[in-house]
């Protein structure tokens, strides 16, 4: 299987190094091919997502992505649309030993990935800037169905739809109605909905009321970072972008220029992202072994700076390798 690896910018490169050490340790039928994209690629080639990289992604079985910087919209948002990986699966799961706001939290955010305000249709005429919010019945239905199928497969009990249909009556209204319709096909899974603003309140004050969340692209982006904060930060939040044909695996975080180049980024999100890729291809044991090694490392108090520890990225990675 061919994996197109795109480390990207900032800490993307640093955490990708860590994940690759773990992946290359396993004897799996993967062929890793490295490609460039991001701010540095833009400077070098005049294009943030060079044609060669896009073509390689289209020929691969999966893409493993680190992070882009200021060019994220032209790289990862574009890649998601180009490869039509419509479902962004973002597990928010507490890890033992992390001094987080909440313990034993286990929520999965399913974010629609191909439309909404992130479609990138913008105009500016005479000092009036506009962005088109595109919500289609087709994309709403496939993300809602994906969320319920996911809940069924993972034996989860509840799906919660987040929107703002009281204000955005057409776009969010369509999304809300489609979710309600799809929910009827899954009577064994309970279904409810909140307006996005109230949902943010509930996430902070009582996140245990959530199980699987389904929402539109930009709301999903925002609540993902918020929810990551509940379990200890972006250093712990992995994600998978799933479509009919393609899959892109990437951590929730970006290039984190505030800490880039210091070797202190937490590679856990990227490592858990690699585990999501392994599971996607059926290598469940290998994924579990790595996940357990990460958990054991953190539980024994060995942590990176974001979690209150003092290990550098490579030191933490070395500890994980030792425990496999």
Site for ligand NAI in 45-84 (CB under 6 A): 67-70, 72, 76
Query: Judged by CB under 6 A, does residue 253 bind ligand NAI?
Result: yes
Residue 186 annotated in active site: no
Among 234, 240, 242, 248, binds ligand NAI (CB under 6 A): 234
Query: Judged by CB under 6 A, does residue 11 bind ligand NAI?
Result: yes
Residue 9 annotated in active site: no
CA distance 280 to 238: 13
Helix, strand or coil, per DSSP, at residue 27: coil
Query: Judged by CB under 5 A, does residue 112 bind Mg ion?
Result: no
Site for Mg ion in 217-246 (CB under 5 A): 221
Judge contact between 134 and 115, C-beta under 8 A: yes
198-220 burial, b if ≥16 CB within 10 A, otherwise e? ebbeebeeebeebbbbbbbbbbb
CA distance 200 to 227: 9
Residue 225 annotated in active site: yes
* DSSP code per residue over 190-208: EEEEEEHHHHHHHHHH-GG
* DSSP code per residue over 57-88: HHHSSEEEEEE-STTHIIIIIHHHHHTT--EE
Q: Which of 35, 39, 78, 164 is catalytic?
A: 164
Give first-to-last CA distance, the chain, whole Å. Answer: 23
Report the nearest approach of ligand NAI to the CB of residue 110 (Å): 17
Report the nearest approach of ligand NAI to the CB of residue 208 (Å): 24
Q: Which of 35, 102, 118, 246 is catalytic?
A: 118
Report the nearest approach of ligand NAI to the CB of residue 81 (Å): 14
Residue 265 contacts which entry, Mg ion, ligand NAI, none (Cβ below 5-8 A, type-dependent): ligand NAI
Helix, strand or coil, per DSSP, at residue 19: helix
Site for ligand NAI in 15-34 (CB under 6 A): 15
Contacts (Cβ under 8 Å, ≥6 apart) of 250: 64, 65, 66, 67, 76, 239, 241, 273
Residue 104 annotated in active site: no
Report the nearest approach of ligand NAI to the CB of residue 174 (Å): 27
Tokens 């289209």 belong to residue:
58
Pick the closer one to ligand NAI by CB: 203 or 259: 259
Report the nearest approach of ligand NAI to the CB of residue 254 (Å): 2
Residue 76 contacts which entry, Mg ion, ligand NAI, none (Cβ below 5-8 A, type-dependent): ligand NAI
CA distance 274 to 30: 12
CA distance 42 to 60: 22
Contacts (Cβ under 8 Å, ≥6 apart) of 104: 94
Contacts (Cβ under 8 Å, ≥6 apart) of 184: none
Residue 306 contacts which entry, Mg ion, ligand NAI, none (Cβ below 5-8 A, type-dependent): ligand NAI
Report the nearest approach of ligand NAI to the CB of residue 115 (Å): 17
Which residue of the chain is nearest ligand NAI when measured via CB? 254
Binding residues (CB under 6 A) for ligand NAI: these are 11, 15, 67-70, 72, 76, 234-235, 250, 253-259, 265-266, 269, 306
Residues designated catalytic:
118, 164, 197, 221, 225
Give the residues lining the site for Mg ion (CB under 5 A). Answer: 221
């Amino acid at each position: 299987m061919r994996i197109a690896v795109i480390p990207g910018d900032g800490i993307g490169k640093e955490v990708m190094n860590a994940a690759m050490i773990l992946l290359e340790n396993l004897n799996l039928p993967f062929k890793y091919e490295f490609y460039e994209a991001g701010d540095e690629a833009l400077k070098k080639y005049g294009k943030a997502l060079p044609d060669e990289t896009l073509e390689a992604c289209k020929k691969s079985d999966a893409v493993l992505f680190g992070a882009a910087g200021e060019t994220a919209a032209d790289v990862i948002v574009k890649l998601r649309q180009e490869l039509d990986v419509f479902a962004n699966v973002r597990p928010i799961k507490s890890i033992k030993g992390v001094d987080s706001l909440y313990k034993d939290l286990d929520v999965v955010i399913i974010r629609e990935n191909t439309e909404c305000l992130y479609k990138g249709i913008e105009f500016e005429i005479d000092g009036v800037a506009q962005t088109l919010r595109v919500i289609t019945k087709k994309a709403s239905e496939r993300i809602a169905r994906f969320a319920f199928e996911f809940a069924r497969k993972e034996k989860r009990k509840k799906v919660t739809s987040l929107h703002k249909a009281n204000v955005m009556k057409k776009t969010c209204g369509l999304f809300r109605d489609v979710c309600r319709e799809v929910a009827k096909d899954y009577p064994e899974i309970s279904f409810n909905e909140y307006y996005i603003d109230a949902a943010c309140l509930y996430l902070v004050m009582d996140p245990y009321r959530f199980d699987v969340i389904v929402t539109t692209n930009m709301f999903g982006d925002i609540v993902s970072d918020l929810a990551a904060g509940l379990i200890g930060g972006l250093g712990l939040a992995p994600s998978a972008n799933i479509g009919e044909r393609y899959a892109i695996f990437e951590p929730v975080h970006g290039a984190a220029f505030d800490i880039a180049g210091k070797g202190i980024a937490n590679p856990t999100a990227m490592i858990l992202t690699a585990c999501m890729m392994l599971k996607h291809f059926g290598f469940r044991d290998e994924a579990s072994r790595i996940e357990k090694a990460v958990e054991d490392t953190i539980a024994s108090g060995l942590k990176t700076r974001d979690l209150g520890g003092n290990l550098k990225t490579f030191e933490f990675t070395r500890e994980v390798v030792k425990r496999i």
